[in-house]
């Protein structure tokens, strides 16, 4: 696995910005009769927009927030819900295979990125490698909300580089989807809604997926199911959900140089009630439970050899009170308590608790300056107390121009794997300290015309006691050992732009540049934390041709420190025919063979054919 030494590192890539600028120049589109579906604006009383407990539009005003809506998601050539994250600006989706991937934002590792589904935490207390083991079928994703930057003042531990919230569908109707293609791949999914007594609505969905894998040892099979329920109750609304996701996959070279095999099961249950959102005081209690089971075999053909079986659980709840205290002031106040446990053949029996108190304010100052103030107090049985403040502000001097800035602290506590895991290649240390980070950012958003925007952000994050697996540079035979690295400073710039010109064309461009300075007490190789994407450009072009054909192009350019740059291009052709929506996906058209997180080549050229019946 390629790794880098955390000595002083600096990377610049101005050519990335030049390329992004060229892509934003006006181009002529093919003749079209039907424009793409409009992108809706999320407002109303859902309060599911990531990064707030007060006002649905607050994060979009004061922070770097990107929202991908269903119309855009349906055009992406993704095989599962996790792959939808591949084209997020500033995101690094480190896929080892179709079964497992790690997500990073702004150079923060997968342990430092928080994953939510409908606002409920999905991060696993054992290891961040399980954060994306979601029980969420692809067709059930209504939109994806991405907050780039720290959010510990809202969500506590892990929200260092950013937060991703996958919002599920609530629509009516039924649908069935099937697909097959390269690497022996096949997918079958479907879902729909039922109306129950008492105006209750139950949605059922499922997905089965299998593949032989793009290289030996990456075969996989998954079965996902989800059942959310919404119903009016006591003058408010009850929301509940249940989900389960089973995965079995070859894990060759995933964590060490072995032909490993792994089976996981994720089970989630949750329920929440919210009072009438039109009232001056809104009350929202919520409880949730998540269990993750993992059976890891280090050598696939040696079941009597090294084996770890883990079961982690997290259960608890929180209560949030929201009030419109004044025409210029909205407040949120709440708290929560959770219990986390682990039963493991390799990590032992663990049981720890955490509690939190939080408050947030949306304050409109004179001069039309809107501010977001946040403060959270977290207490953990082992780490002690952490205080996470944040402040953000936005000023709109005139229509079409908004300036914003933010300052926030964040923290992350070590996982059980980082503290207690040991195998023939790894040794954990139980005396790790939580990571601490301070971030600042400034941004400008331009809305020059309807259907067009350009959002530019500059940021800096300083981290101390950064946790990672490392080993001495001059001893490649040494064990990987967890430790607190001394200091790391990340500086970066991001561009998120979209344009919908005439002719049924939509264009979206994202670009990010990152520089890193890292210091350590000795020369060490870093396995994860100091190997970010230092430059990335994503391009999405959708063109409607006639009434029935849509052409979608997705491209990614990337570079990591010490590696050559790479590019991947995907193409989707989608047509309505015989009562179904048919699609043909051509993946990795350029045949890029750059390394993934394991050091092996990413999947090569591939082709997939699928169809979707129904409108649910």
Tokens of 571: 């193409």
**How far is the C-alpha of 550 from the C-alpha of 208, rounded, in Å?**
26
Domain residues for 154? 14-614
Arithmetic mean of pLDDT, 331-339: 97
Q: What domain count does the chain have?
A: 1
In our burial notation (b when 16+ CB lie closer than 10 A, e otherwise), range 312-339 reads bbbbbbbebbbbbeeeeebbbebbbebe
What pLDDT digit, counting tens, does each position of 103-130 carry? Answer: 999 999 899 999 999 999 999 999 999 9
Q: Is the pLDDT of residue 331 over 80?
A: yes
Q: Is residue 1 part of a domain?
A: no
Q: Is residue 138 part of a domain?
A: yes
What pLDDT digit, counting tens, does each position of 424-436 carry? Answer: 888 999 999 999 9
- Please state, for a pLDDT cut of 90, what percent of the chain lies above it: 70
Taking CA 106 as the corner, what is the angle to CA 105 and CA 107, rounded to the nearest 5 degrees?
90
**How far is the C-alpha of 91 from the C-alpha of 101, rounded, in Å?**
12
Number of neighbouring beta carbons within 10 Å of residue 37: 15
What pLDDT digit, counting tens, does each position of 183-239 carry? Answer: 999 999 999 999 999 999 999 999 999 999 999 999 999 999 999 999 999 999 999
As a dihedral over the C-alpha atoms of residue 72, residue 78, residue 81, residue 83, rounded to 10 degrees, the angle is -110
Query: Among positive and negative, which fits the CA dihedral 487, 90, 588, 128?
Result: positive
Spatial neighbors of 286 by CB under 8 A, at least 6 apart, are 120, 270, 271, 272, 273, 317, 318, 319, 320
In our burial notation (b when 16+ CB lie closer than 10 A, e otherwise), range 122-153 reads bbbbbbbbbbbbbbbbbbbbbbbbbbbbbbbb
What pLDDT digit, counting tens, does each position of 446-479 carry? Answer: 999 888 999 999 999 999 999 988 888 888 788 8
Mean pLDDT of the residues in the chain: 88
> Residue 422: its pLDDT value, please?
85
Tokens of 229: 């329920």
Q: Is residue 31 part of a domain?
A: yes
> Residue 412: its pLDDT value, please?
95
The SS3 call for residue 404 is strand
Q: Contact, 99 vs 148, CB < 8 A?
A: no
Going by pLDDT thresholds of 50, 70 and 90, the confidence category of residue 14 is very low
Q: Are strands 426-427 and 480-499 parallel, antiparallel or unpaired?
A: parallel
Q: Is residue 4 part of a domain?
A: no
The CATH number given to whatever domain includes residue 300 is 2.40.170.20
Give 455's strand partners.
Answer: 445, 496
Q: Is residue 5 part of a domain?
A: no
What pLDDT digit, counting tens, does each position of 501-523 carry? Answer: 877 899 999 999 999 888 766 67
Arithmetic mean of pLDDT, 243-266: 93
Alpha-helical (H) ranges within 515-558 are none
Q: Is the pLDDT of residue 9 over 70?
A: no
Beta strands in 234-347 (DSSP E): 236-250, 261-274, 281-297, 307-326, 329-344
Residue 267 Cα to chain centre, angstroms: 19
What pLDDT digit, counting tens, does each position of 536-547 carry? Answer: 999 999 999 988
Q: Is residue 2 part of a domain?
A: no
> Residue 514: its pLDDT value, please?
95
Q: Contact, 300 vs 261, CB < 8 A?
A: yes
Q: Is residue 201 part of a domain?
A: yes
Arithmetic mean of pLDDT, 400-408: 96
Alpha-helical (H) ranges within 376-523 are 416-420
Q: Is residue 9 part of a domain?
A: no
> Residue 47: its pLDDT value, please?
43
């Amino acid at each position: 696995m390629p790794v880098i030494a955390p000595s002083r590192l600096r990377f610049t890539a101005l050519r990335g910005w030049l390329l992004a600028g060229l892509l934003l120049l006006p181009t002529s589109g093919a003749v079209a009769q039907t424009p793409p579906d409009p992108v809706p604006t999320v407002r109303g009383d859902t309060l599911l927009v990531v990064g707030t407990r007060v006002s649905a539009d607050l994060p979009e005003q004061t922070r770097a927030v990107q929202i991908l809506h269903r119309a855009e998601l349906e055009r992406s050539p993704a095989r599962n819900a996790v792959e939808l994250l591949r084209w997020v600006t500033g995101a690094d989706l480190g896929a080892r295979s179709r079964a497992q991937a790690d997500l990073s934002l702004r150079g923060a590792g997968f342990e430092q990125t928080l994953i939510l589904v409908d606002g409920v935490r999905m991060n696993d207390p054992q290891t961040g490698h399980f954060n994306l083991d979601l029980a969420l079928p692809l067709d059930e994703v209504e939109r994806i909300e991405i907050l780039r930057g720290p959010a510990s003042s809202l969500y506590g531990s892990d929200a260092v580089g950013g937060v991703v919230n996958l919002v599920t569908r609530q629509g009516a109707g039924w649908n069935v989807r099937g697909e097959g293609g390269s690497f022996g791949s096949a997918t079958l999914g479907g879902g729909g809604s039922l109306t129950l007594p008492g105006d209750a609505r139950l949605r059922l969905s499922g997905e089965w997926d299998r593949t032989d894998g793009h290289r030996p040892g990456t075969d996989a099979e998954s079965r996902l199911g989800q059942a959310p329920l919404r119903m009016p109750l006591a003058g408010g609304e009850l929301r509940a959900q249940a989900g389960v996701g089973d995965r079995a996959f070859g894990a060759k070279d995933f964590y060490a140089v072995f032909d490993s095999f792994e089976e996981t099961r994720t089970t989630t249950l949750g329920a929440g009630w919210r009072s009438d959102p039109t009232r001056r005081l809104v009350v929202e209690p919520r409880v949730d439970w998540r269990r993750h089971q993992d059976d890891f075999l280090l050598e696939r053909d040696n079941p009597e050899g090294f084996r770890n079986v883990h079961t982690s659980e997290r259960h608890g709840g929180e209560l949030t009170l929201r009030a419109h205290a004044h025409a210029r002031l909205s407040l949120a106040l709440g708290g929560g308590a959770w219990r986390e446990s682990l039963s493991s053949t390799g990590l032992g029996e663990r049981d720890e608790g955490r509690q939190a108190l939080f408050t947030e304010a949306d304050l409109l100052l004179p001069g039309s300056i809107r501010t977001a103030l946040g403060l959270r107090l977290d207490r953990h049985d082992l780490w002690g107390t952490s205080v996470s403040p944040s402040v953000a502000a936005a000023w709109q001097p005139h229509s079409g121009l908004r300036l914003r800035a933010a300052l926030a602290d964040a923290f992350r506590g070590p996982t059980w794997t980082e503290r207690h895991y040991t195998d023939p290649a790894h040794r954990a240390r139980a005396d790790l300290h939580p990571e601490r980070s301070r971030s600042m950012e400034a941004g400008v958003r331009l809305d020059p015309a309807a259907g067009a925007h350009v959002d530019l952000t500059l940021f800096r994050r300083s981290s101390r006691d950064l946790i990672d697996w490392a080993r001495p540079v001059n001893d490649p035979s040494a064990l990987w050992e967890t430790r607190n690295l001394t200091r790391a400073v990340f500086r970066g710039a991001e561009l998120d732009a979209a344009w919908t010109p005439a002719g049924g064309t939509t264009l979206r461009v994202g670009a990010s540049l990152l520089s890193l300075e890292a210091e350590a007490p000795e020369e060490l190789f870093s396995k994860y934390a100091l190997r970010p994407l230092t430059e990335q450009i994503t391009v999405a072009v959708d063109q409607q041709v006639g009434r029935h054909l849509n052409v979608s192009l997705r491209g990614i350019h990337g570079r990591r420190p010490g590696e050559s740059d790479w590019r991947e291009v995907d193409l989707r052709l989608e047509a309505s025919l015989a009562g179904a929506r048919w699609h043909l996906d051509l993946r990795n058209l350029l045949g890029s063979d750059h390394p993934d997180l394991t050091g092996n080549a990413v999947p090569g050229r591939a082709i997939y054919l699928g169809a979707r019946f129904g409108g649910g």
